[in-house]
Amino acid sequence: MGTEDQEIRQGLSPDRMGDTAFAKSMLRGDSARTARLRAILDEHGWPDSVRAGGPAAQAAFLVLQHSPSRELQKTWLPTIERLARKGLVPADQAALLIDRVLVGDGLPQRFGTQFSMVDGRLVLDSVENEGSLEERRTSMGLPTMEEYMRLMEDLYHVPVVRHR
């Protein structure tokens, strides 16, 4: 499932982000993987790296992060946070999911991991208390905002900015 999740995203570009057929195809795949993940979670619980191995744990996280089901993300967020505190899930994964849920709820994100495409640029979604953002990022094992924005530019080949 992790390979499937990443294969479709390899073709993600600013042009494709506006392509309805591409978006529908990606959503169909995300929905199918979400259903498979939900069945696994219902039967076995969260597949952390100790119980399921690193690749399976990473795949589960990718599917959850890209799931169209906010309900599923919200349901598993407390578990991901708890496992991250115990070192059984990477802290940066918890940060990504926390931000995804907050932004999905229309709230400011905490760690600065989420961006929206606006006029051909990736714009950082609203962040709570920007003055302590770098501290929060460091605490979760995330690179500095400057490094992260450079990585996003390299990945998506579009300008990445903090503010509109």
Q: In whole angstroms, how large is the CA radius of gyration of the chain?
A: 16
Q: Which residues 6+ apart lie within 8 Å of 44 measured at CB?
A: 51, 52
Confidence (pTM): 0.87
Indicate whether 52 and 119 sit together in one domain: no
Indicate whether 67 and 122 sit together in one domain: no
160-161, strands of its sheet edge to edge: 115-118, 121-124, 160-161
Q: Which residues 6+ apart lie within 8 Å of 33 measured at CB?
A: 1, 4, 5, 63, 66, 67
Query: CB of 71 within 8 A of CB of 105?
Result: no
Q: How much is the pLDDT for 52? A: 87
Indicate whether 12 and 76 sit together in one domain: yes
- 126-164 b/e (C-beta count within 10 Å ≥ 16 → b): bbeeeeebeebbeebebeebeebbeebeeebebebeeee
Structural domain span for residue 85 = 1-89
For tokens 């499937």, the residue is 4
| Number of domains into which the chain is organized | 2
Residue 102 in any domain: the answer is no
Indicate whether 66 and 6 sit together in one domain: yes
Indicate whether 38 and 71 sit together in one domain: yes
Indicate whether 129 and 61 sit together in one domain: no
From first to last of its 164 residues, what are the pLDDT tens digits of the chain? 877 777 666 766 666 666 778 778 878 888 999 999 999 999 999 998 888 888 899 999 999 999 999 999 999 999 999 999 999 999 999 999 999 999 999 999 999 999 998 888 899 999 999 999 999 999 999 999 999 999 999 888 889 999 87
